[in-house]
Homo-oligomer: A and B are copies of this chain.
Amino acid sequence: MTLIHPVIMCGGSGTRLWPRSRKTMPKPFLPLVGEQTLFEETIARASDPAQFAASTVVTGAAHLPHVEAQLGDAEASIIVEPEAKNTAAAIALAALRLPEDAVMLVCPSDHHIADVAAFQAAAQAAAKLAREDRMVAFGITPTHPETGYGYILQGDPLEGGFAVERFVEKPDLERATEFLAHGGYSWNGGIFAFRAGAFVSELEAHRPDLAAAVRAAVEQGSEEGARFHPAPEPFAQVQSESVDYAVMEETSRAAMVPVSMGWSDIGGWPALRDARAGDDNGNRVNGNAELVDCRNVLVDSDGPRVSAIGLEDVAIVVDGDEVLVTSMDGAQKVGKLSGAARQ
């Protein structure tokens, strides 16, 4: 069995988990669900040497200290992007640094996956399709009509998966509900498998300028121990585009592997609550707290004791000099708070 090359995408920060997630200590590097950080979980679930080669981490200078501290003893190459240019460029950097026949498994570093065995089985199925030069997306079996994700409609069956009939933008609730009733729709979780050379060929076919600029940045780049620095000037010319637009929606070779693996993008406080194990009343407590007559309440305190009475579906987060109290429905507005905006 050929080894799979994990490519860990470690960019962006986001404000939806403010005030716990901050610019200086963003989401991937926080122990949000269990003892490990989301980044450490991501590295660990693709670390079995019988299945996986050493990881390639694509990140920016701001996150580099966190990446290196949390990699610990794990063997990894690190590509330090001169600036953030979205996922098509980030994946292309890794593809051009790996052997042409390496099968890449592109993994965001800020997701939680409860069922690691299911993840690994899907990775093997996706790798098999990728070796046939398929552009493969994980299709997460939906558990509810989520409006925050794009969807993938499956087409003809392939060995271990399906061709992609089409990708669908984030739907409204009515359409999401129809998708679940219809069947065959999966969430696009941003996890992909490609043969490196095949990815570069597809990118060159559909986004030749983008591919050429990334190639120049790699050719003129410099190594520094385990770090690789693409050249800033050619990289500055790279178009900022998602891999979904630049490749997945353009290629005729898109495939998907359906998987149900307890996946969450931890896209806000309600998602974090749901990813944590609750007590008999559905409450999730991290830190010093006393809850009375509460249901489905999330408490996350970095120190002060939180006493809560008579609440339902509320998140209470204490972080340094910030206290957030939000209804689960209201949590989508966390990013617009002045505290989150000015952090």
Which residues of A line the B interface, CB within 8 A?
A: 19, 290, 292-293, 301, 303-311, 314, 316, 318, 320-327, 329-331, 333-334, 336-340
Can you give 14 A-B contacts (C-beta < 8 A)? Answer: A292-B336, A293-B333, A301-B323, A303-B321, A304-B321, A304-B322, A305-B322, A307-B340, A309-B324, A309-B326, A309-B327, A309-B330, A316-B323, A325-B325
**Bound form: Cα–Cα A318–B318 in Å:** 10
Contact partners of A338 in chain B: CB under 8 A: 290
Contact partners of A316 in chain B: CB under 8 A: 323, 325
Whether the pair B306, A337 counts as a contact (CB closer than 8 A) is no
Q: Contacting A307 at CB < 8 Å: which of B293, B306, B327, B337?
A: B337
In angstroms, how far is the closest chain B Cβ from the Cβ of A331?
Answer: 7
**Bound form: Cα–Cα A321–B329 in Å:** 28
Whether the pair A305, B327 counts as a contact (CB closer than 8 A) is no
Q: Contacting A311 at CB < 8 Å: which of B292, B303, B325, B340?
A: B325
**Bound form: Cα–Cα A318–B333 in Å:** 22
The answer to whether residues A329 and B310 also contact, given A292-B337, A318-B323, A323-B318 and a CB cut-off of 8 A, is yes
Q: Contacting A325 at CB < 8 Å: which of B293, B314, B333?
A: B314
Residue of B at shortest CB range from A312?
Answer: B327
**Bound form: Cα–Cα A325–B326 in Å:** 11
In angstroms, how far is the closest chain B Cβ from the Cβ of A300?
Answer: 11
In angstroms, how far is the closest chain B Cβ from the Cβ of A18?
Answer: 8
Contact partners of A340 in chain B: CB under 8 A: 307
Contact partners of A333 in chain B: CB under 8 A: 292-293, 309-310
Contact partners of A305 in chain B: CB under 8 A: 321-323, 339
**Bound form: Cα–Cα A290–B322 in Å:** 11
Residue of B at shortest CB range from A338?
Answer: B290
In angstroms, how far is the closest chain B Cβ from the Cβ of A304?
Answer: 5
**Bound form: Cα–Cα A339–B305 in Å:** 9
In angstroms, how far is the closest chain B Cβ from the Cβ of A263?
Answer: 26
Whether the pair B304, A339 counts as a contact (CB closer than 8 A) is no
**Bound form: Cα–Cα A77–B308 in Å:** 42
Contact partners of A318 in chain B: CB under 8 A: 304, 323
